[in-house]
Amino acid sequence: MNARSYGASATISVDAAEAILGAATKLFGDRGFHGASVRQLADESGVSLSNIYNYFPSKTDILLALLREANSNLRRQTGEAIATAGPDVTDRLRSGVQAFVRYYVENREISIVATSEFRYLNGVARSEIVAARDLTQRVFTTLIEEGVAGRRFRTPHPHEATLAMLTMCSSVNVWYRDTGPLDADDIATRYAHLAVALLEGV
Amino acid sequence: MNARSYGASATISVDAAEAILGAATKLFGDRGFHGASVRQLADESGVSLSNIYNYFPSKTDILLALLREANSNLRRQTGEAIATAGPDVTDRLRSGVQAFVRYYVENREISIVATSEFRYLNGVARSEIVAARDLTQRVFTTLIEEGVAGRRFRTPHPHEATLAMLTMCSSVNVWYRDTGPLDADDIATRYAHLAVALLEGV
């Protein structure tokens, strides 16, 4: 997305790009990537069909922009939480898991699209998103390796434990409803506890 | 699916129904429910368009039949594994988790469709599949409640632990490849270990 390069009309351009991405989140969520047409995206966003193509040459570019934004926000929020959690490896893991879970709870719609529609990306676009996801995973892998080396996490299966931890946390968006008895912070705190248990933290 | 009621042509009918469901697994996986047309299902399955409607009045009925079969197989395999695992609650949990993980590893394509395309079911069809999934979840909820009551599982958050356990296990289909160093049994055994750790089993 380089809408800001449109110069004098920069503010309007950013709004239009955001309107398109907002419409895509809704329509890809409701109908799937192949089920939603660019015409429907135009109707939903209020941006004309021809103008959509000024921002995004193809529907795939819209999906890529969505997933790029989702992964970037997840990585930033998680990274900041870990960086400000102090020196203890278990504290850093808890803090990272809490931020990760909060992201999925607070961004249900886009994170469900990111999970279910990723399979429609191919080639360079796919590689970019795989690399972005790997960056977030790598942060947790490194933390868990540190905890295992220091005998703070005793799991004999750190690789599978890392994948299990990330997938159980990212799946909260499937069942969590903000009308339930627990708010995002409660869920995040409980999942941090579950993550430490999973890793056999001491 | 009541293809068997077609009488004399029963064998052929069952084959056709299975061909349609096989094509749907592939096409719903590749293009999504809304992205795959009944015409494409006819081409892929080798069953004529008009004949497809003899078996399934609508594309939704095909999706429902797929999800019904997937949930039924998952529940049966899991239930049998638990029933034959002896009296110990941890042994039964391990056995159930192993069967559950093996199902997702060995049925990657259909289980990914079951997860990602479920959102396109509405009304009675949706209620039926929710009820079927709840039955499998209930088996694990009951086991975990028994283990918590008997102080074999010390997790302070059994409800979230149950959801976390089932979602981490069902997500193996996202990353598992049978070209990797571990086979389905290895993964299932490791996940059973992780599940007991998650529940703080003693």
* Residue appearing with tokens 């509405």: B122
Show the tokens assigned to B15. 């084959």
Task: Name the minimum distance, in Å, from the CA of A146 to any CA of chain B.
Answer: 19
Say what the ipTM of the complex is: 0.89
- For residue B167, list chain A residues with Cβ-Cβ distance below 8 A: 167-168, 171, 174-175
Hey, are the CB atoms on B120 and A167 less than 8 Å from each other? Answer: no
Q: Report which residue type is found at A178.
A: D
Ordered per-residue pLDDT tens for chain B, 202 residues: 444 444 444 445 779 999 999 999 999 999 999 989 999 999 999 999 999 999 999 999 999 999 999 999 999 999 999 999 999 999 999 999 999 999 999 999 999 999 889 989 999 999 999 999 999 999 999 999 999 999 999 999 999 999 999 999 999 988 888 888 899 999 999 999 999 999 999 8
pLDDT of residue B179: 84
- For residue A116, list chain B residues with Cβ-Cβ distance below 8 A: 115-116
Question: What whole-number distance in Å separates Cα of residue A135 and Cα of residue A166?
Answer: 13
What is the percentage of chain A residues whose pLDDT exceeds 90?
85
Range name among A27-41, A171-185, B28-42, B70-84 with the lowest pLDDT average: A171-185
Hey, are the CB atoms on A191 and B120 less than 8 Å from each other? Answer: no
Counted across chains A and B, CB pairs separated by less than 8 A come out at: 89
| Contact status of A34 with chain B (Cβ, < 8 Å) | yes
Question: What whole-number distance in Å separates Cα of residue A53 and Cα of residue A59?
Answer: 9
- Strand, coil or helix: B108: helix
Distance of CA B1 to the CA centre of its chain: 18
Neighbours of A36 (CB within 10 A): 25
| Contact status of B38 with chain A (Cβ, < 8 Å) | no
Question: What whole-number distance in Å separates Cα of residue A6 and Cα of residue A92?
Answer: 41
Sign of CA dihedral A90, A95, A98, A99: negative
Show the tokens assigned to B101. 């993980």
| Contact status of B168 with chain A (Cβ, < 8 Å) | yes
